[in-house]
Amino acid sequence: MGKPVWRLTVRSEFCASHALRHYEGKCENLHGHNFAVEAVVEGDRLSPGTEIVLDFKVLKGELNTVLDLLDHHNLNEVPPFDTINPSSENLARFIYTALAPRLAPHGVRMHAVTVSEKAVQSATYMECD
């Protein structure tokens, strides 16, 4: 039998504007989205007593702390998106790398972050060993 792993998923959203540099289409103009974000973490131990990996409230709170850096901003003016494109792919990576150290003290590790501009399309970032 393999080592047990539990995955927890929380979803949140933020509102922001962005313009995709070098896109050569409508999205090169400043426009806004209600971005949906899904964060997935993994843990291999349940806490004594409550037998949970991490309280969903804590996970969502940490995610929202990171999203507050982006919410209601023109992303092209927020580092690092003042120099890199604020694409869904780069947003997913930014959220993943900002969230990972916030969760390490809680005994969980990042699995993936997915960012959606619309319900029918999304970009997911994860790091593989």
> Catalytic residue numbers?
27, 72, 117
Whole-number Å distance between alpha carbons of 102 and 21: 30
Q: Is 73 labelled as part of a ligand binding site? A: no
Q: What is the rounded CA–CA span in Å between residue 52 and residue 46?
A: 5
Contact between 125 and 93 under an 8 Å Cβ cutoff? The reply is: yes
Residue (of 128, 99, 115, 124) closest to 41 by Cα position: 99
Task: Read off the tokens for 63.
Answer: 């995610």
Instruction: Output the six-digit token pair for 78.
Output: 């927020």
Q: Tokens standing for 46? A: 């349940």
The verdict on whether residue 106 carries a ligand-binding annotation is: no
Residue list, annotated binding site: 18, 31, 33
The annotation places the binding site for Zn(2+) at 18, 31, 33
